[in-house]
Chain A
Amino acid sequence: MSLIFRRLARNNPRNIVTDAQILIISSRKLSLVPSLYDGDQDPAPKFFSSNVQILLKRLTRPDFNKVFRKRTNHGFSVLKTPSYKFLTNEELEEEIAKANEKADRLLQMPPVVKIQQHIEDVLSNDPALIGYDTAKYIFTDITFGVANEHRIIIERDPDGTLRSCDHDVRKRLNQAYFPLNGRKLREPLMFADIEKLNSLLDREKYEFVLDRACVQYEPDEPSYQRVTSITYQHVDSKSKYELLRSTRHFGPMTFYLTWHKSMDNLMLELIQGGAVREAVLLSALRQDIHGDVANGDVARTLAQQILPTPVQLTKPETLTEEDIQLDSKCVECIEKYITGTSSMKSQQELALQGFREYYQQLIDLSRGLKKAHGKQ
């Protein structure tokens, strides 16, 4: 949170009042304060709404070379020999469709939900059992086929109270009876020790941290939200978004930044990288979540036009007239966003100006080429 404050302070000269306090925070070594989804508002309905899901998936900018990259040797000391097939056009299309499905599975985003509430459910109180034993008794229903979250786990305290267990006990017992692959009974040191986590983050092992957090924790656990929040803030402060693009964690990160209204650094990165269409999508996302964007409806309608176009993995070399039309609309939309909503006005304006100049050159080049080829 300190980071968010700092950026606000840097770009909004109006916030002079809090300047002195903020200086104290920012003068410390980069220490990130985790912010959990623990407010009154539940992020789940927004996150799972189809609009937001589509926008987040598009903003992930999936590059199949990265999605299907080699991660491990799959337990083999030597990689398996590749296989080859002769395919007709139709068969190839089928295979590509299958690969797209697989990519969807690989890019499925970890859910963003509200933090869990304590379970305080006293089933019965039997004072007759006081002093029967000094230990707690825990009863677990290990019937096959019951989901972990619906499993009945109750405890009998020494004072005779019979009640449902809290989440931490439930997790331990579920893991003891039905172990999940990769999940440890005790919290791994990389999450428990903040020094170790910071060292990993400084080495930019963001994907590793987030992947392991997904295995170790449930999405509504405070620890999960703490770890992911710190990681997202670290990525944001270093502007290393490229490391998480084409992974399943980019969507939740964008959602996190937008939810806390600190996505202007990401917006800046998008404009600097020339991805104006994605910048419009980001402002449309903010409109969907908060509804506080200047001319947000324009951004939304523009997003509907952008979504059918193919994902731009690299900067285009030539442009069609439709592209030029769409991009100029996007630039206008972003301009309004910057003047109306942004908290990093000067930098984003500068970046947009740079993009305009570059784009004008590109337009001249592609129109000149068209003329040279004699097409109208």
Chain B
Amino acid sequence: MSTKILTLCNIISRPVNVLLKQNNVTPNLKTNFSTTSVSCISFFNKLPAEKLWKSVTSVSNAGAKKGRGRGTGRIRIRDLNRGQVIGVGKINMLWPGLSAPVIRGRELLKQQRLPDDQERLEKLTKIRDSMTKFRRIRLNPIERGWSGSKLPGRSLGPPDPIGEDEFTGFDTKVLQLRSLLIMKGSLGRTRNFQAMVVTGNGQGLAGFGLGRAKEAPAALRKAKNRAGQKLMHFEIYNGHTIYHDFFTAFGKTKIFVQKKNEGYGLMCHRAIKEICQAIGIKDLRAKVEGSNNLQHIVKAFFIGLLQQRTHQQLAEEKKLHLVEYKDENENFPKVVASPSEVRTKDQIQKNETLDFTQYVMKDKVILKKRKFPRFYETMPHYKVYLKKYEKYRNHEKIRLNLKTEYGEVKSFLTDKYPEKAEQEA
């Protein structure tokens, strides 16, 4: 906008100059006065700033409904006089009684010209431009959610206490916050906010809630308190993971969840990650297939967790011992659950699924995608590179060994045959 106004200024000033130049041509007059009366009257200096701004920024009613005048390229109203003070101008004059006191000490100040301030214009433009820049809301890195200052992924604290029962140790995370448009008979199209949150204490208790309200904070509060009312308890295996792999679905959303060993972490959709943290699950892998609808993912995952069976239940179902083999324990057979009565080999049917993973996944198989070679590995230069660097492949190790042995890169032959450069020196 400012540029527009400035260009307007130029347009106006140019005809004045032109007029003056034309007048210069008259030989009789030595002065540069113009004899014709110039009336510099246009809408620009006739109308107040407010109206001028409105003419630039306003959008028609129909346009506003379409969303014009919003988002990128939007013109904002600015105060172009910002930083300007009466009595202070391009020429740095001291005006007693305007820009300075009349009497300083015992001295009566006189009107006088002070040395020019070179940086004045720069300062003014800086102050003027500071308004237009987009100011980002600064959030502490710990408080940040999934994306910038957006709410999803951010913590809301524990649900509000009910009577005297407080939710100690609970924390709520926003999973989704979106606006919905609803048609109403009397009001037409109105906007509602919908929030989905998960709350949990990290020790097996967790619940999710959905809240709708006219304002976002109200929707979040409703969702949070509803989540606090719908807590569920989940068993956690060894305090770090789920009991077994499982498949779960809701609508078109399918999730394959895999149990993992300690230290693996949470490799899954960010919403599932937040849920796991709320429950207290530390290691797991989940693959979402089909629809990415967040609410469906949350519901499917909760259903899957609730349908888990503990090892004892699995052993009782199969009437067989359930034995765990861990690679780090030299595959020592650790019996994790034994049924009350064990079947013999003859009692097991021939077509029965005995494979543990197949049994708990209910015969669903996770698609393992084939790994293709990297784009450069098929190129001829890669072969050249491999050949060229084969002889250097152990150098790093050797260098390290020499450093541990001699404190620097040298060998037992260095003293006998020193480097040439050293010899000359």
A residues in contact (CB < 8 Å) with B: 64, 68-74, 78-92, 95-96, 98-99, 102, 106, 186
Contact = CB atoms under 8 A, between A and B. Distances in A.
Interface of B: 244, 258-264, 315, 318, 320-330, 332-333, 335-336, 342-345, 348, 354, 356-357, 359, 405
A72 B329 CA distance: 10
Contacts of B258: 81
Nearest to A80: B327
A102 B323 contact: no
A84 B405 CA distance: 47
B323 A99 contact: no
Contacts of A95: 323, 333
Given A68-B329, A95-B333, A99-B333, A87 B320 contact: yes
A186 B405 contact: yes
A71 to B, nearest CB: 8
B325 A83 contact: yes
A82 B343 CA distance: 24
A70 B334 CA distance: 14
Given A90-B345, A92-B333, 8 more contacts: A70-B326, A79-B261, A80-B327, A81-B264, A87-B321, A88-B321, A95-B323, A96-B333
Contact of A78 (B261, B322, B354, B405): B261
Given A70-B328, A99-B333, A78 B345 contact: no
B342 A88 contact: yes
Contact of B320 (A64, A68, A88): A88
The 7 closest A-B pairs by CB, nearest first: A68-B332, A79-B261, A84-B356, A86-B320, A95-B333, A70-B328, A80-B327
A90 B345 CA distance: 8
Contacts of B264: 78-79, 81
B323 A92 contact: yes
Contacts of A106: 330
Contacts of A78: 260-261, 263-264
Nearest to B336: A84
B330 A88 contact: no
A64 B342 CA distance: 25
Given A78-B264, A79-B264, A99-B332, A85 B356 contact: yes
Contacts of B332: 64, 68, 99, 102
B329 A81 contact: no
A365 to B, nearest CB: 30
Given A78-B264, A82-B261, A186-B405, A89 B329 contact: no
B320 A69 contact: no
Contact of A88 (B325, B348, B405): B348
A96 B57 CA distance: 83
A151 B91 CA distance: 103
Nearest to A96: B333
B327 A74 contact: yes
A302 B348 CA distance: 47
Contacts of A89: 321, 342, 344
Contacts of A64: 332
Contact of B326 (A82, A88, A96): A82
A99 B259 CA distance: 25
Given A68-B332, A70-B328, A186-B405, A87 B261 contact: no
A73 B348 contact: no
Contacts of B405: 186
B282 to A, nearest CB: 12
Contacts of B262: 79
Contacts of B263: 78-79
Nearest to B258: A81
B56 to A, nearest CB: 60
B257 to A, nearest CB: 13
A84 B323 contact: yes
Contacts of A83: 324-325, 356
B323 A80 contact: no
Contacts of A80: 261, 326-328
Nearest to B346: A88
Given A79-B264, A102-B330, A86 B325 contact: no
A81 B259 contact: yes
Nearest to B405: A186
